Amino acid sequence: MSRILIVEDEQDLASLLEYNLKQEGFEIDIARTGAAGVSRAKSFKPDLILLDLMLPDIGGTEVARLVREHEGKRIPIIMVTARGEESDRVRGLELGADDYVVKPFSVKELLLRIRNVLRRDGTEPKPASSTGTLSAPDIVLDADRHEVTVKGKPVVLTALEFRLLKTFLERPGRVQTRETLLSDVWGIDAEITTRTVDTHIKRLREKLGPSGDIIETIRGVGYKLSRPE
Ligand code: CA
């Protein structure tokens, strides 16, 4: 059974989420402030955190940063934002949130996203195709062990960056439009903009260092993994 930590100061929303997620078989803990969220993340050891962006004490992006700093195992985070918080939302994704929902959202939509993120993260069963080792010059991705190395050195990627890189490695030389990447990597097509793809590609390239140049930008279309000459 997956454990979900809800960090949310709106009591009604927190209770509604708690009720619905428990119905779905999740184990739930609730924190009403950012500080409580950080400490509950340590003690409750959730498989996923549902993190409100606007909290009374410290903001969601700061909570995400603090949680990331302390955790041993990477915990996936879904940011919960209100409309009009676009810049915070992008910042949240840059900080490594795996997905976000915009208030008001339906419980059904949220459940879909939770299951997507948990599946990507390997907490829930993966599709059979996600096994084995993929590689490009300098880069090796081990899907079973969820590890990436560049020139033999391990690189820590978020679940999303890992999936993004895996998608490229599976399709060398083929142009991937932003829309294709959104539907194949994020697994959903609503709410998230194509700009999100660019943000994550940028992060992924940075983490891969000079070897990241293997992901080429195809202007106005998308990206592709260049084939070795
Ligand atoms: Ca709030």
Predicted confidence (pLDDT) per residue in 189-205, tens digit: 545 677 888 888 999 99
The pair of structure tokens assigned to 201 is 């590609």
16, 33 in Cβ contact below 8 A? Answer: no
Question: Could you tell me the pTM of the whole model?
Answer: 0.56
**All structural domains of the chain:** 3-121 (3.40.50.2300), 133-225 (1.10.10.10)
21, 28 in Cβ contact below 8 A? Answer: yes
Whether pLDDT at 126 is above 50: no
User: How far does residue 1's CA lie from ligand 1's centre (Å)?
Assistant: 27
The pLDDT of residue 87: 65
Whether pLDDT at 4 is above 60: yes
User: How far does residue 225's CA lie from ligand 1's centre (Å)?
Assistant: 40
Mean pLDDT is highest, among 39-48, 112-121, 145-154, 174-183, for 39-48
CA distance 131 to 118: 17
User: How far does residue 56's CA lie from ligand 1's centre (Å)?
Assistant: 7
Provide the mean pLDDT of the chain: 84
User: How far does residue 52's CA lie from ligand 1's centre (Å)?
Assistant: 6
Comparing CA positions, the residue from 210, 136, 218 lying closest to residue 180 is: 218
Q: What is the mean pLDDT of residues 80-99?
A: 70
CA distance 75 to 83: 25
The pLDDT of residue 229: 56
The pLDDT of residue 89: 63
Beta-sheet pairing, 215-218 with 3-7:
unpaired
User: How far does residue 65's CA lie from ligand 1's centre (Å)?
Assistant: 18
Contacts by 194-202, CB closer than 8 A, 24 or more apart: 195/90, 196/90, 196/93, 197/222, 199/90, 199/93, 199/94, 200/93, 200/160, 200/161, 200/164, 201/164
